[in-house]
Amino acid sequence: MFHDKETFKKAYLERLISMHGKGLEETTPADQYYTLGMMVREYVSRNWIATNNQYQVKDTKQVYYLSLEFLLGKLLKSYLINLNIRTVCEEGFQELGLDLEKIEAEEPDAGLGNGGLGRLAADFLDSMAALHYPGHGMGIRYRYGLFEQKIIDGYQVEIPDYWLREGNVWEVRKSDKTVEVRFGGEVITKEMGDTLSFDHVKYEPVLAVPYDMPVIGYHNKTVNSLRLWNAESAIKDYDFDHMHNRHYHQMIEYKKSTESISEFLYPDDSTFDGKRLRLKQQYFLVSASLQTILARYKRQHEDIAHMPEKIAIHTNDTHPVLAIPELMRLLMDQEGLGWEEAWDITTKTISYTNHTILSEALECWAIEVMAPLLPRIFMIIEEINERYCQKLWDQYPGEWEKIRRMAIISDGYVRMAPLAIIGCHSVNGVSALHSTILVEDLMKEFYEEEPDKFNNKTNGITHRRWLIGANPGLTNVITDVIGAGWKSSPSQLKRLISYKNDAALQQSVAKVKLENKEKLAALIWRDYGIKVDTSSIFDVHIKRIHAYKRQLLNVFHIMNLYKRVKENPDISITPRTFIFGGKAAPGYHLAKSIVKLIHTIAEVINHDPSIRDQIKVVFIRNYGVSHAESIIPAADVSEQISTASKEASGTGNMKFMMNGALTIGTLDGANIEIAQKVGDDHIFLFGLRPDEVLDYYQHGGYHARDMYNRDKRIRVILDQLMNGTFVKEDVDFKSIYYSLIDYDEYFVLKDFPSYVDAQQTVEQSYQHTASWYEKSIVNIAHSGAFSSDQTISRYAKEIWDLEPLRVQ
Ligand code: 26V
């Protein structure tokens, strides 16, 4: 049906009529979207089945990527690109008077993630399918994704994101694959000869019902699966023996409480808060997934001991790390294995990625929360802990402090990072710097025990979504120069290097950039009524709002620039459009004040005629994957200005460089590797180095107040937060002021002077158009190194021991 546009048009019209009972003219864009979705779904179904069959028949090793987050965004466009049928649809639609882009925009964003960690999971799925790897995702089908951000009077207001309102055309409910997950109750230990048996009784059952979504490979026949679990009550099968005297309203309570497990995504990716429901979500995902994986394995294999040769299980951060005790439980209690044997299989099967060193984000569950909710799992964790501590005790007799630091359970808490490290065979960080910090600092003592476990896998992004999909103009320019080979082998982008000084290419890249800026400017005008100059520098800072990501540093630079222009009416700067976007966690007060501050300065600056439109500040509301896809191609400058050592990797940085923006950034996360690739002349670096930051944390020696006293610019800016320049009667930026002057945990003031200098260099560089675009081309050329295809190949070879399988 997608062979040629005539066949497509005919099939589409028939489908539209049969599905909606109306002719083309009467259908809504939503109808039109849904119809195309159904056709695509049908089109891939044959390959989806073939993929599963061939994985089974060839008995190939498969990897399961467990993640509490998959930040998928929209899927239709990616599917059409990967299936190589987008042009047919586009042209067919044109003849029908329909606009494919508009129809694609109808799809709701699947916002089942907070930020980088969730989007990485989505990019990884895309790469696994593109590279013929048998790899699947498993997650939770949250009814509500990350909240929708509204801005009222400059303040963030959160609205529930009911993304499933119109249904999800990509999912297939598989009721027959439902499994039961058990919470609460008691464990009765029985002696059976010389072995023990564990009976879990009086538990509350929850049904995990799978919804599968296809993950479509690029120009190949692979269709992997993303299985999202929905939590439902098991009223029918409930253990009425101990429930018979419950009242009807208790049954309703039970139904509500089970369904609440997959109700919403936790929106705070900055601080761990130990909520019981979150722990339920984690165990729900893990138990449903592992039961399924094990059952699948057993259907084909007799000997459980060979499981690690056929299955790899990856845990995206510690969130699904209960996979370790859960697999132990299944192997021992269900399969009858002994501890040693089960432990060997478990550690060989499971691997773990760490995504943050921020101590406040590290998970540790209070025993009083975990033990009653997951009694058998807690017993197993206790046993893992005891055995490990015993081993340490033998090795380091009397070193209580060391053992306490390394224990899984201490001070009344179960610490998930130690559990992950101890119970798996591979621990990786997500950039060279981050992995170094793990082994030299955060996980040093574990590293000394088992150095071979630790490795680095620098993050990557899928060029299919972030370049081919998001930036068709640039895609064509690149293809005209180096051919289309880079689309399937993104490392070929490097061929652009030989053309970096080619004036014609520079002009084409500049032309596309301008077109993308015009598109974004139109959107900004339409949605915000702000006129932005497309010849100004589009300076973009989009990511979650967090103190360590230092949106404040950017704001202070803008305040400083504004003052300079205002006080010198005759000076001409290179005009700039500062674009922000990002959500603050609902309970993160400082981050929410930063949102308000950005709006406050925007209001003043955008309406001050005296600066002659030389500065504009725009805050894009409700930032998410789709916004990123339209903003990034239009960016000249990419703000990657986290406090050195704090950003584990960053992936936005890679998306910008791939779209020809130049980075202003600190030596943090993957910025360091980007700088190494492009060379220091092609990136604007500034600020403290990671070792300097870590040194200050360890030994002190930085006093923010000195910066305030010494640097007049800083004094003026901070005073302006308090004195009325930007502050209206009812607004209060005191918390920001004191967060800096009292402590300045993230070295905002310390890095300010060097940031301003770097911004000045940016401004001067932008004046030299040819050399600016030479830099831009060099960035695009080296971005292939940050394709998630590269990253995934390394995971497959070095962690999962996985071979590709070409689906026929
Ligand atoms: C943490 C937490 C902690 C409390 C409960 C809810 C919750 C949800 C998510 C997270 C994730 C925080 C870690 C994270 O997102 N790390 C980011 O991972 C990216 C992919 O590796 C990386 O590029 C970013 O630098 C890193 O901040």
- 441 alpha carbon – ligand 1 mean position (Å): 19
- Look up residue 117 and give its two tokens: 């960690």
Q: Does the C-beta of 650 come closer than 6 Å to ligand 1?
A: yes
Q: Does the C-beta of 430 come closer than 6 Å to ligand 1?
A: yes
| Domains and their CATH numbers in the chain | 1-58+75-108 (no CATH), 59-74+109-425 (3.40.50.2000), 463-788 (3.40.50.2000)
What residue owns the CA closest to ligand 1's atom 10? 269
- 115 alpha carbon – ligand 1 mean position (Å): 7
- 666 alpha carbon – ligand 1 mean position (Å): 19
What residue owns the CA closest to ligand 1's atom 16? 355
DSSP 485: G
Catalytic-role residue among 119, 182, 355, 453? 355
Beta strands in 599-675 (DSSP E): 615-620, 637-640, 662-665
- Tell me the pairing of strands 70-73 and 110-112: antiparallel
Pocket test for ligand 1, best of 147, 355, 674 (most atoms within 8 A of CB): 355
Q: What is the pLDDT of residue 3?
A: 86
What residue owns the CA closest to ligand 1's atom 11? 269
Q: Which atom of ligand 1 is nearest to the CA of 430?
A: 21
What is the identity of the amino acid at 99? D
Chain position carrying tokens 């929708």: 148
Pocket test for ligand 1, best of 140, 315, 319, 356 (most atoms within 8 A of CB): 356
What is the identity of the amino acid at 232? E
Q: Does the C-beta of 115 come closer than 6 Å to ligand 1?
A: yes
- Helix ranges restricted to H, 443-538: 444-449, 463, 472-482, 503-528
Q: Does the C-beta of 362 come closer than 6 Å to ligand 1?
A: no
Catalytic-role residue among 651, 663, 666, 791? 651
- 271 alpha carbon – ligand 1 mean position (Å): 10
Q: Does the C-beta of 497 come closer than 6 Å to ligand 1?
A: no
Segment holding 612, helix H or strand E: none
Beta strands in 341-415 (DSSP E): 350-353, 364-366, 409-410, 413-415
pTM summary value: 0.97
Pocket test for ligand 1, best of 68, 114, 117 (most atoms within 8 A of CB): 117
- The ranges of the chain with pLDDT < 70 are 236-246, 728-730
Decide if 651 is catalytic.
Answer: yes
What is the identity of the amino acid at 176? D
Decide if 355 is catalytic.
Answer: yes
How far is Cα of residue 804 from the mean position of the Cα atoms in its chain?
25
- 779 alpha carbon – ligand 1 mean position (Å): 26
DSSP code per residue over 226-268: EEEEEEEE-GGG--HHHHTT--HHHHHHHHHHHHGGGTB----
CB atoms within 10 A of CB 767: 9
Give the CB-side neighbour count of residue 45, counting CA atoms within 13 A.
10
Is residue 336 left, alpha or beta, with left meaning phi > 0 and alpha meaning psi from -120 to 50? left
Decide if 543 is catalytic.
Answer: yes
Decide if 596 is catalytic.
Answer: no
User: Dihedrals φ, ψ of 135, to 5°?
Assistant: -145, 135
What residue owns the CA closest to ligand 1's atom 18? 117
Q: Which atom of ligand 1 is nearest to the CA of 434?
A: 25
In whole angstroms, what is the distance from residue 340 CA to residue 61 CA?
23
Contact by Cβ (8 Å): 154, 596: yes
Catalytic-role residue among 132, 453, 544, 592? 544
Q: What is the pLDDT of residue 195?
A: 87
Q: Does the C-beta of 116 come closer than 6 Å to ligand 1?
A: yes
Q: What is the pLDDT of residue 219?
A: 98
- 649 alpha carbon – ligand 1 mean position (Å): 10
Decide if 728 is catalytic.
Answer: no
DSSP code per residue over 3-60: SSHHHHHHHHHHHHHHHHSS-GGG--HHHHHHHHHHHHHHHHHHHHHHHHHHHHHTT-
Is 137 in a helix, a strand, or coil?
Answer: strand
Nearest C-alpha neighbor of 64 from the set 805, 804, 800, 793: 800
What residue owns the CA closest to ligand 1's atom 9? 269
